[in-house]
Amino acid sequence: MAEPTDKTRASRRKFLVSAAGLSVTSLAAAGAAARPSFADNSKNLPPNVADWTRTLGEGVGVRAYGNPSKYEKDAIRRTVPWLTATPESSVSFTPLHALDGIITPSGLCFERHHSGIAEVDPADYRLMLHGLVDKPLIFTLDELKRLPRVNKIYFLECAANSGMEWRGAQLNGAQYTHGMVHCVQYTGVPLKLLLEQAGVKSNAKWIMAEGGDAAAMNRSIPLAKAIDDCLVAYRMNGEMLRPEQGYPVRLVVPGWEGNVWVKWLRRLKIGDQPWYTREETSKYTDLLEDGKARQFTFVMDAKSVITSPSPQASVKQKGFNVISGLAWSGRGKISRVDVSLDGGRNWRTARIDGPVFDKACVRFYYEFDWNGEELLLQSRAMDDTGYVQPSKEALRKIRGVNSIYHNNGIQTWALKANGEVENVEVG
Ligand code: MTE
Ligand code: CO
C-alpha cells in the first residue's frame, strides 16, 4: 500500500535531477533566505573577510557550562499560560520544531510538575523500599551508584500530550500539540536488582512509587513491569538528572505514560493490589462516551508528528525541501513511518535515519520538491507489533471526545501557498 507508485517514483527521479542540478547562485539564494541576518550584514559575506575572522574569540573556560549560540533563541521551552492555574502545577513544552535527530537536549526536555521542582540535597537523598518484602531497605545515592548500571534510550510522553486536540485542531505548533514528549539516554539501576535485594513476597503484585516533591505524587505499577524493564535512573544524557527531571533519582517506566515516571523518587512500596491514588482515579483515566472510564491505561500507543514543516517552522522557498518528524511506540520498535502530502489519500514510505531503539523516538525524513501548491501533510507510524497509528476520526469513534489522555491520532498540517503552516483537521 505504501510502496511508491509510478507517479511518486517519477517525481523522486525528478527531485534527484533537480537537486543535483542546483546552481551556485540558487544555493546562495537558499542560504540568504535561510539566514536573513546575513543580508543585513553584507560586509560579512564572501568575498569579504567576516568580523568573526578579524578578532580573537573568547578564551576557553569562560563558558564553564556551555549554552547554545545566542542566535538559537527559538529553541526554547514554551508554556501555554491559559492551560494551567499556577506555574508550580504546570507544563512546559519541548520545542520539537527546532530539533533534529532522536535525542532531546537536557535543557529542552518538557517539564511537568504538580508542585514545582523539589530541590533535593543528594547527601540527604534516600530511597525506601518496603511493603511485601523479606527485608525492607533504604538506599543512599552512593549505594545506588555502586550497583550494576545500564544505559538506555527511551521516550517519555505525558498521557495528556495532544490532549487539547480531542475536540478539533487547537494549538498552532508541534511544540504545543506534541511537545510533551522527550527522548534521552538514562543511566540507572534495573529496579529488578533492588527488588531482588529486598526479596519480594510471593503474594506481591503491585508496586507504588512515590515522589519526594510537595505533591508526593504517587502511582501504582504492576510488579511484572517493574521487574521487566523499569530503571531507577540518576543520569540523563551522561550528566546527573536535571532538577526538573527529578534530580537526583527518577523512575523510568519504558513505553508507559509519563505520569508513572515518578521524579525525586523517595519510596517504593510493594503490595498485592493497586493503591488507587489520586493520579489513577480522578486523573489519568479515560472517560468514554458511555460514561465508563478506562483505568490503568499505561501504554503509550504508536504516534508520530511532522516537526518540520510545522506552524513554527514554515517553508522558506519552493523546490527542494525536507519533511522531518519523530515517531515512537510504547509497545516496541517503530517499523515504518509513512508520509502523506494530500491529507491521507496517498501514502509514501518515509526514510528512517539514525538508530531505532525499543520504546525510543525515531527520526524520519521525506524529501520532496514543492511547487508551491497547498498540501495537507501527515505522518503515520507503525510498530513491530503491527499496530498502525489511527486517524483522529477512527480514534474518536472508539474513545469519544471526553478524554484528555492518550490522543495518538494522525496530525495534519496545512502547508499554504505562502509557505506558512497551520494546524487543521481533515475528514
Ligand atoms: N513525579 C513527581 N514526583 N511529581 C510530578 O509532578 N509529574 C509526572 C511525572 N512524574 C510528576 C512526576 C508527569 S504527569 C509527567 S508527564 C512526567 O513526570 C514528566 O516528566 P518530565 O518533567 O521529566 O518531562
Ligand atoms: Co504527565
Helix/strand/coil (H, E, C) string of the chain? Answer: CCCCCHHHHHHHHHHHHHHHCCCHHHHHHHHHHHCHHHHHCHHHCCCCCCHHHHCCCCCCCCCCCCCCCCCCCCCCCECCHHHCCECCEEEEECCHHHCCCCCCCHHHCCEEECCCCCCCCHHHCEEEEEECECCCEEEEHHHHHCCCCEEEEEEEECCCCCHHHCCCCCCCCHHHHHCCEEEEEEEEEEHHHHHHHHCECCCCCEEEEEECCCCCCEEEEEHHHHHHHCEEEEEECCEECCHHHCCCCEEECCCECHHHCCCCEEEEEEECCCCCCHHHCCCCCEECCCCCEECCCCECCCEEEEEECECCECCCCCEEEEEEEEEECCCCCEEEEEEECECCCCCEECEEECCCCCCCCEEEEEEEEECCCCEEEEEEEEECCCCECCCHHHHHHHHCCCCCCCCCCCCEEEECCCCCEEEECCC
* pLDDT band, residue 282 (cuts 50/70/90): confident
Q: Do residues 175 and 97 make contact, with C-beta atoms less than 8 angstroms apart?
A: yes
Q: What is the pLDDT of residue 329?
A: 98
Flag whether pLDDT at 263 surpasses 90: yes
The per-residue pLDDT for 41 is 59
Q: Identify which has the larger pLDDT, 67 or 403.
A: 67
Query: Ligand 2 mean position to 261 CA, how many Å?
Result: 9
Instruction: State the cell numbers at 144.
Output: 545506588
Ligand 1 pocket test: pick from 257, 263, 405 the residue with the most ligand atoms within 8 Å of its Cβ.
263
Residue 25 has a pLDDT of: 33
- Nearest residue (by CA) to ligand 1, atom 21, is 111
pLDDT at residue 16 tops 80: no
Between CA 260 and CA 284 the distance in angstroms is: 10
Pull the grid cell for residue 36: 536573513
Cα 229 to ligand 2 centroid, rounded to whole Å: 20
- Using the mean position of ligand 2's atoms as its centre, give its distance from the Cα of residue 75 in Å: 22
Give which of 389, 408, 374 is closest to 338, Cα–Cα. 389
Q: How confident is the model at residue 40 (pLDDT cuts 50, 70, 90)?
A: low
What mean pLDDT is predicted for residues 122-135? Answer: 98
Query: What pLDDT is stored for residue 51 in this prediction?
Result: 94
105-119 pLDDT tens trace: 999 999 999 999 999
| Nearest atom, ligand 1, residue 245 CA | 23
Q: Classify burial at 241, counting beta carbons within 10 Å of its beta carbon; exposed 0-12, middle 13-18, buried 19 or more.
A: buried
**Residue whose CA lies nearest to ligand 1 atom number 13:** 259
Question: What's the pLDDT score for residue 33?
Answer: 43
Instruction: Specify the pLDDT at position 20.
Output: 36
Model pLDDT, residue 85:
85
Residue owning the nearest CA to atom 9 of ligand 1: 259
Rounded average pLDDT over 141-153? 98
Instruction: Name all residues whose Cβ lies below 6 A of ligand 1.
Output: 109-114, 156, 158, 182, 211, 213, 215, 217, 244-245, 258-259, 261-264
pLDDT for the residue 34 = 45
pLDDT at 42: 83
Instruction: Tell me what percent of the residues of the chain surpass a pLDDT of 90.
Output: 87
Ligand that lies nearest to the alpha carbon of residue 262, given by its number in the listed order: 1
For the residues 194-221, what does the mean pLDDT come to? 98
Predicted local distance difference test score (pLDDT) of residue 22? 36
For ligand 1, atom 2: residue with the closest CA: 263
- Measured CA to CA, the distance from residue 320 to residue 385 in angstroms comes to 35
Distance (Å) from CA 284 to ligand 2 centroid: 9
pLDDT band, residue 1 (cuts 50/70/90): very low
Determine how many CB atoms are found less than 10 A away from the CB of residue 6: 7
Report the separation in Å between the CA atom of 156 and the middle of ligand 1, taken as the mean of its atom positions: 10
Mean of all residue pLDDT scores within the chain: 91
Tell me if 267 sits within 8 A of 203, measured CB to CB.
Answer: no
Which numbered ligand comes closest to the C-alpha of 219?
Answer: 1
Is the pLDDT at 125 greater than 70? The verdict is: yes
- Checking if the pLDDT of 411 tops 80, the result is yes
Q: Which ligand is nearest to the CA of 215?
A: 1
| Shortest-distance atom of ligand 1 to CA 246 | 23
The answer on pLDDT for 143 being more than 90 is: yes
Mean of pLDDT values over 253-265: 98
- The cell for 207 is 508496586
Residue 90 has pLDDT above 60, yes or no: yes
Who wins on pLDDT, 223 or 402? 223
Q: Which range is least confidently modeled, 187-191, 271-275, 290-294, 327-331?
A: 290-294
Locate the ligand 1 atom nearest the alpha carbon of residue 264 and give its number: 3
Grid cell listed for 355: 538508530
Please give the pLDDT value at position 17: 34
Residue nearest to atom 10 of ligand 1 (CA): 262
| Confidence grade of residue 203 (pLDDT, cut at 50, 70, 90) | very high
Report the pLDDT averaged over residues 209-227: 98
> Is the pLDDT score of 128 beyond 90?
yes
Predicted pLDDT at 427 = 74
